[in-house]
Amino acid sequence: MDSRRLAYLKALDIDVWERRDGSARTSVLPAETLAPVQVRTVQAPPVVALKSALPEDDTGISKLGWEELATAVRSCTKCPLHATRTNGVFGVGNRTARWMIIGEAPGADEDRQGEPFVGRAGQLLNSMLKAIGLAREQVFIANILKSRPPNNRDPKPEEVRACIPYLYRQIELVNPGLILCVGRIAAQTLLDVDTPIGKLRGVVHSIATNRPMVVTYHPAYLLRSPVEKRKSWADLLLAMRTFETLQSGATT
């Protein structure tokens, strides 16, 4: 294990056993990370169904290119959140990324800077990515909502309905090999369930026309409950193993 990854694992509070010869390995992982990868399709709305449910004036979103989409997000007035936001937060990163990270909605820092995950939670997300060998610039990061809900309250269903076509278009344009969904709200929204996040972890979901998605805890939650970082590390390993398995075309 290289020293950089080791440092990030330590930053995540993941126990690392040092051997006397100086080599290291992570502590014993939960059994779920060792199980063969199984892709489970749940009741995630496929893109086609979602599009057919969109109001008339939303249908054009699925045809927009990157620049038009970014402009549409930044000037969007489809829901009342536009009146209280500072910036529409489009998303950031590599537009041809193999990994896409999806969160809930911008917070105060993100609203001010116009970029997702730039606050304390964003710093932890960066560390989580680095722990699996990914730089922030290598992935594409976006949220379900592009405008900040006042006082960081949960998104309302009508706000999600208005905004989610932007995210689905981003998913289509990026065409990621793996989606890492962070947090309960994002996971429940994308999967259209109200199952607790603990039950959505540990399996590979399929959303947006058969794209694999792994669910983990939101970094803001991990900051409040550091004891859960161990489970999050297991989720990251599942995501990595899933990505590698599917990329290599292996069947399990």
**Interacting residues with ligand URA (CB under 6 A):** 103-107, 110, 116-117, 121, 143, 183, 220
Closest CB 96 distance from ligand URA, rounded Å: 21
Closest CB 235 distance from ligand URA, rounded Å: 16
Of 110 and 235, the one with the shorter C-beta distance to ligand URA is 110
8 C-beta neighbours (distance < 10 Å), count? 18
Pairwise CA distance, residues 27 & 82, whole Å? 46
Contact between residue 44 and residue 205 where contact means Cβ atoms under 8 Å apart: yes
Residue with CB nearest ligand URA? 103
Burial class (CB in 10 A: 0-12, 13-18, 19+), 164: buried
Q: Which residues pair with 206 in a beta bridge?
A: 212
Closest CB 142 distance from ligand URA, rounded Å: 8
Closest CB 121 distance from ligand URA, rounded Å: 5
Of 37 and 97, the one with the shorter C-beta distance to ligand URA is 97
User: Could you give the residue ranges of the DSSP H alpha helices within the chain?
Assistant: 3-11, 47-52, 66-74, 108-113, 120-131, 157-174, 184-191, 197-200, 219-224, 229-247
Of 214 and 220, the one with the shorter C-beta distance to ligand URA is 220
Of 106 and 165, the one with the shorter C-beta distance to ligand URA is 106
Closest CB 201 distance from ligand URA, rounded Å: 17
Of 14 and 121, the one with the shorter C-beta distance to ligand URA is 121
Write the DSSP string, 87-132: S----EE-TT-SEEEEES---HHHHHHTSSS-SHHHHHHHHHHHHT
AA identity, residue 210? N
Closest CB 45 distance from ligand URA, rounded Å: 20
Of 186 and 246, the one with the shorter C-beta distance to ligand URA is 186
